[in-house]
Structure 1
């Protein structure tokens, strides 16, 4: 009987037990629709359609539409050549894997943060470009 009660206990949704804190944890790695700066350096993967491509300080930056309504479009920078289609263009479907970064940590001039109008972005170490 104790075994079954233990199993039942672990099946209870965590939100019922932790309330507000469980909701916050389930929202990670996002906060207010953007990457959460609290998790700088944490690995994550994002996939979506490239909406815009800009160059800041000789670095390529891509605005990615994740197609998830509560989440805003996310900026990604990538220093590596993507797998699949070699050149990332607007309209391409791309999966990026990398680390959550804070713009001010990557550029102390604030030029990057002003250009992307965001405090955070993904620094990709892997990209798979599936094209359009």
Structure 2
């Protein structure tokens, strides 16, 4: 099982655990995504995952495991691809008023890491139902007419 599938399995299998906070609207969802991404850019990984934990139905043990794996992989990326240069906002995808996916990139000297945040509109408000990261950017390219 590749590591992205494992991460998704951990995240989505944790749905049964209660959340502490609900996002009132999409503006709050956008702000949460940006705050987590900026914390990661500042290499405040524990703070970033603690912030995610407030809004995401994570089992705390699974969250700690994911945070540990993320920090190890970031170390590997920085050794291979240099230091983080900037945060870049990618695409935003909506499924009517049901779901929203927000993509950010952590840009390195020689590479980029994509962060995906996925939200669902529940009857109580917007719920963070997915967070994943990937160094696979094949699907992110757009056609440029020359």
* TM-score using structure 1 length: 0.26
Greater share of strand: 1
Q: Whose Rg is larger?
A: 1
* TM-score using structure 2 length: 0.24
